[in-house]
Amino acid sequence: MNKINVMNDTLINKIAAGEVVERICNVVKELVENSIDAKSKNIKVELISSGTKSIKVIDDGIGMSREDARLCFNRHATSKIKTENDLYFINTLGFRGEALAAIAAVSNTFLDTYDGNESTLINIKAGSIISEKVGSMRVGTIIEVQELFYNTPARLKFMKSLNTELSNTVSFIEKIALSHPDISFSLYNDGKEILRTSGSNDLYKTIHEIYGLNTTKNMIKIDAENYDYIISGYISNLNISKSNRNNMITLVNGRVVTNQSVNRAIKDAYHTVLAENKFPVVVICIETDPTLIDVNIHPTKQDIKFSKLESLTDLLTKTIKNALLNSNNTFKGYKETQIHENYTNEEVNNIIDDNDYVLNEDINKVYEEEKQYESIRLSFNEDSEEITYNEKEVEKEEVFIKPVGLALGTYLIAQDENIMYMIDIHAANERINYERYMEALKSDKVYTTNMLFPIQLEYSSNEFMNIKDNIEEIRKLGFGVEEFGTNTFRVTSHPSWLKEGYEEESIKKIFELMGEFKDKFDRIKFNEKAAIRLACKMSVKANTNIGYLEEEELLNRLFKCEFPYTCPHGRPTIIKYPKYELEKLFKRVN
Ligand code: ZN
Ligand code: ZN
């Protein structure tokens, strides 16, 4: 039986068209998703001139009958959707019937397909069949789209530079490969391999194949569930930060989606771990009952609606936050090239080699060698294993780290038995103060101190109004405050935790921040911002000379912090160099 059905009109109207093939990467997406639907295990994408000259997708899927091959270029033909209801329970990927027809209308397309029975080679140019004959009899499908937009030069104008088109395509293939670790993907441009995954069905290995060793080493596994959702996957620690969201990949029931609220929940979990304008690498699989989601059916969008959004965002933020807190998160002053003790055997086994890309076919050979090497190294290291385990505990519990001295007036050099640490004294102080202020701001118990000399704060009428809107919130924090003439407040008492000698400055900071919240006050956001601003202000500046006892005290307090590794702005506080890494730098060891 032929697998392709022609959809009815109501359904056609529900699917928006037009922009389907605006970009090279839309075309690649369309073709690749068809290959996935055809149950392919290996999908190879070959581009010439970033795809503007030719886009070729070669798969080893089930192929098509001759009739399906003809029909697939029909507008509104699809093998996926039979009735309108199906749209809401989409489990396969290619639900758009129009794309192939649209692509064929603006290009010279060759389709060579074989389903084991019938072999077909069709050439369609500008939408009309030019020729149809027996094809290569290779099971699977090869589709080549040449000279895209050749007959509609106007469309070409919408295309970005070759580089942008290519990088969009690369980013798409990365995402699709991560969402299908069981399929091997490869991508070539002008004959050069850009990326390749092995189809090992192992997400961690696929992450390694795409992002390389350094990123992979800095990924933390997560696993959690609540009544509505199950989440699993990998998230980067503080050693990885990207300048855009491109590497935040979320899959819902196996499908790549981009949802703002989900992204925000993930970013929230990295609050103070990464700077505001930096983003992590995450690959998170979300499983849920399909009735809880509503997939946007527009072909070029990947958005989704969740009917229990908060349940999901809560789960994501909590799980990621905990994973970050519980992992050994110190910044490394070196790029990781060595398999490290922090990984389980299972994870280590999945690491193939030190190169960012595996360029040859001998993946398994390299993999085996690595495993052998690993077992030798592990047995060699058996004695030191306990020390390694303790290292984490030491950093949290009791501090054996001792100061060595202050370098350049800013960086505290410290050491324990095996590791040298460099600590930015301002950043470290900020972290300590931030956590202290957060604690104080969150606490229900408010202790206040009466001021010997009340202060008056004068504002512009606009500022005054904004602060006045939140006056009750200010009082809740422990401030005694009243209006005092035109646009002026009089403060008579303040919460006791304000740093001595900095009371007036702190009060001004807090009032100023209150004013910024205007009509929508958010206590959690306020606390975080207030703690950060006060912490920065009150922390010892760089180039301050501190003595040995102060250094010791700083280390003590820092390592007692919940998350000592970054300042509240997301910059590193501690950079570590294990002895072994230093020995490597000085060529004492290889
Ligand atoms: Zn600062
Ligand atoms: Zn900072």
Q: For residues 449 and 495, what is the distance between their CA atoms, to the nearest angstrom?
A: 6
User: Is residue 531 predicted with pLDDT exceeding 90?
Assistant: yes
User: Is residue 74 predicted with pLDDT exceeding 60?
Assistant: yes
pLDDT band at 522 (very low <50, low <70, confident <90, very high): confident
Which two three-digit tokens encode residue 373?
A: 């090497």
Architecture of the domain delimited by 336-428+543-585: 2-Layer Sandwich (3.30)
**Cβ distance 155 to 180 under 8 Å?**
no
User: Residue 325 Cα, ligand 1 centroid: separation in angstroms?
Assistant: 22
Segment 49-54 mean pLDDT? 93
User: Residue 16 Cα, ligand 2 centroid: separation in angstroms?
Assistant: 47
Q: For residues 268 and 575, what is the distance between their CA atoms, to the nearest angstrom?
A: 24
User: Residue 475 Cα, ligand 1 centroid: separation in angstroms?
Assistant: 27
- pLDDT of amino acid 88: 41
Give the 3-state secondary structure percentages of the chain, helix then strand then coil, rounded to 5. 40, 25, 35
pLDDT in tens, 544-581: 778 888 899 999 999 999 889 999 988 889 998 989 88
Q: Residues 228, 232, 238, 244: is their CA dihedral positive or negative?
A: negative
pLDDT band at 304 (very low <50, low <70, confident <90, very high): confident
- Segment (H or E) for 512: helix 503-517
Torsion of CA 168, 174, 175, 181, to 10 degrees: 160
- Structure-model confidence comparison of residues 71 and 266, the more confident one: 266
Segment 156-182 mean pLDDT? 86
Q: For residues 320 and 224, what is the distance between their CA atoms, to the nearest angstrom?
A: 10
pLDDT band at 404 (very low <50, low <70, confident <90, very high): very high
| Contact residues for 581 (Cβ-Cβ < 8 A; gap 6+) | 332, 333, 334
User: Residue 557 Cα, ligand 1 centroid: separation in angstroms?
Assistant: 17
User: Residue 280 Cα, ligand 2 centroid: separation in angstroms?
Assistant: 18
- Structure-model confidence comparison of residues 291 and 334, the more confident one: 291
User: Is residue 323 predicted with pLDDT exceeding 60?
Assistant: yes
Q: Residues 329, 335, 338, 339: is their CA dihedral positive or negative?
A: positive
- Structure-model confidence comparison of residues 104 and 173, the more confident one: 173
- Mean pLDDT of all residues in the chain? 80
pTM for the model: 0.72
User: Residue 577 Cα, ligand 2 centroid: separation in angstroms?
Assistant: 22
Range from 27-36, 124-133, 333-342, 530-539 carrying the lowest mean pLDDT: 333-342
User: Between the ranges 208-217, 224-233, 326-335, where is the mean pLDDT highest?
Assistant: 224-233
| Domain locations in the chain as residue ranges | 9-196, 212-327, 336-428+543-585, 429-538
Number of H helices, E strands in the chain: 20, 25
Q: Residues 216, 217, 219, 224: is their CA dihedral positive or negative?
A: positive
User: Residue 405 Cα, ligand 1 centroid: separation in angstroms?
Assistant: 22
Which two three-digit tokens encode residue 473?
A: 């919130």
**What percent of the chain lies above the pLDDT cut of 70?**
77
Segment 289-315 mean pLDDT? 81
pLDDT band at 335 (very low <50, low <70, confident <90, very high): low
Q: For residues 580 and 550, what is the distance between their CA atoms, to the nearest angstrom?
A: 29
User: Residue 567 Cα, ligand 1 centroid: separation in angstroms?
Assistant: 8
DSSP annotation string for 451-500 = EEEEEEEE--HHHHHHHHHTHHHHHHTT-EEEE-STTEEEEEEEETTSPT
Range from 21-35, 52-66, 71-85 carrying the lowest mean pLDDT: 71-85
User: Residue 573 Cα, ligand 2 centroid: separation in angstroms?
Assistant: 9
pLDDT band at 194 (very low <50, low <70, confident <90, very high): very high
User: Residue 584 Cα, ligand 1 centroid: separation in angstroms?
Assistant: 33
Do strands 293-295 and 480-483 pair parallel, antiparallel, or not at all (unpaired)? Answer: unpaired
Nearest to 431 by CA among 353, 333, 536, 361: 536
Q: Is 394 helix (H, G, I), strand (E, B) or coil?
A: helix
| Contact residues for 523 (Cβ-Cβ < 8 A; gap 6+) | 473
Q: For residues 474 and 401, what is the distance between their CA atoms, to the nearest angstrom?
A: 41
Segment 109-132 mean pLDDT? 92
User: Residue 541 Cα, ligand 1 centroid: separation in angstroms?
Assistant: 8
Q: For residues 532 and 543, what is the distance between their CA atoms, to the nearest angstrom?
A: 21
User: Residue 265 Cα, ligand 2 centroid: separation in angstroms?
Assistant: 22
Nearest to 240 by CA among 214, 267, 268: 214
**Cβ distance 394 to 400 under 8 Å?**
yes
Architecture of the domain delimited by 429-538: 2-Layer Sandwich (3.30)
DSSP annotation string for 301-357 = ---EEETTHHHHHHHHHHHHHHHHHHS--PEESS---S--TTS-HHHHHT---SSSS
**Cβ distance 228 to 288 under 8 Å?**
yes
Range from 115-124, 418-427, 439-448, 512-521 carrying the lowest mean pLDDT: 512-521
- Structure-model confidence comparison of residues 328 and 306, the more confident one: 306
- pLDDT of amino acid 398: 56
User: Residue 272 Cα, ligand 1 centroid: separation in angstroms?
Assistant: 12
Ligand nearest to the CA of 570: 2
pLDDT in tens, 484-514: 988 999 999 999 998 888 889 999 999 999 9
Ligand nearest to the CA of 566: 2
Q: For residues 13 and 309, what is the distance between their CA atoms, to the nearest angstrom?
A: 29
List residues bridging with 455 in a β-sheet: 491
User: Residue 575 Cα, ligand 2 centroid: separation in angstroms?
Assistant: 15
User: Residue 444 Cα, ligand 2 centroid: separation in angstroms?
Assistant: 27
CATH, domain 9-196, list 3.40.50.2300, 3.90.1150.180, 3.30.565.10, 3.40.50.720: 3.30.565.10
- Structure-model confidence comparison of residues 188 and 537, the more confident one: 188
User: Residue 588 Cα, ligand 2 centroid: separation in angstroms?
Assistant: 36
Phi (first) and psi of residue 147, to 5 degrees: 50, 55
User: Residue 434 Cα, ligand 1 centroid: separation in angstroms?
Assistant: 11
User: Residue 433 Cα, ligand 2 centroid: separation in angstroms?
Assistant: 11
User: Residue 581 Cα, ligand 2 centroid: separation in angstroms?
Assistant: 27
Considering only CA atoms, give the Rg of the chain.
Answer: 30
- pLDDT of amino acid 344: 38
Q: For residues 135 and 580, what is the distance between their CA atoms, to the nearest angstrom?
A: 60
Q: For residues 241 and 247, what is the distance between their CA atoms, to the nearest angstrom?
A: 10
User: Is residue 379 predicted with pLDDT exceeding 50?
Assistant: no
pLDDT band at 399 (very low <50, low <70, confident <90, very high): low
pLDDT band at 517 (very low <50, low <70, confident <90, very high): confident
User: Residue 430 Cα, ligand 1 centroid: separation in angstroms?
Assistant: 6
Segment 462-476 mean pLDDT? 90
User: Is residue 373 predicted with pLDDT exceeding 80?
Assistant: no
**Cβ distance 50 to 193 under 8 Å?**
no
Ligand nearest to the CA of 275: 2
Q: How many beta carbons lie within 10 A of that of residue 302, not counting itself? A: 17
User: Residue 537 Cα, ligand 1 centroid: separation in angstroms?
Assistant: 7
User: Residue 478 Cα, ligand 1 centroid: separation in angstroms?
Assistant: 25
CATH, domain 212-327, list 3.40.50.920, 1.10.730.10, 3.30.230.10, 3.90.1150.10: 3.30.230.10
- pLDDT of amino acid 46: 97
User: Residue 567 Cα, ligand 2 centroid: separation in angstroms?
Assistant: 5
Ligand nearest to the CA of 573: 2
User: Residue 536 Cα, ligand 1 centroid: separation in angstroms?
Assistant: 4
Range from 10-19, 372-381, 535-544 carrying the lowest mean pLDDT: 372-381
Length of the chain: 590
Q: Residues 208, 209, 211, 214: is their CA dihedral positive or negative?
A: positive
- pLDDT of amino acid 97: 53
User: Residue 544 Cα, ligand 1 centroid: separation in angstroms?
Assistant: 14
Q: How many beta carbons lie within 10 A of that of residue 131, not counting itself? A: 10
User: Is residue 19 predicted with pLDDT exceeding 70?
Assistant: no
What is the separation of C-alpha 293 from the centre of its chain, rounded to a whole number of angstroms?
21
User: Residue 534 Cα, ligand 1 centroid: separation in angstroms?
Assistant: 9
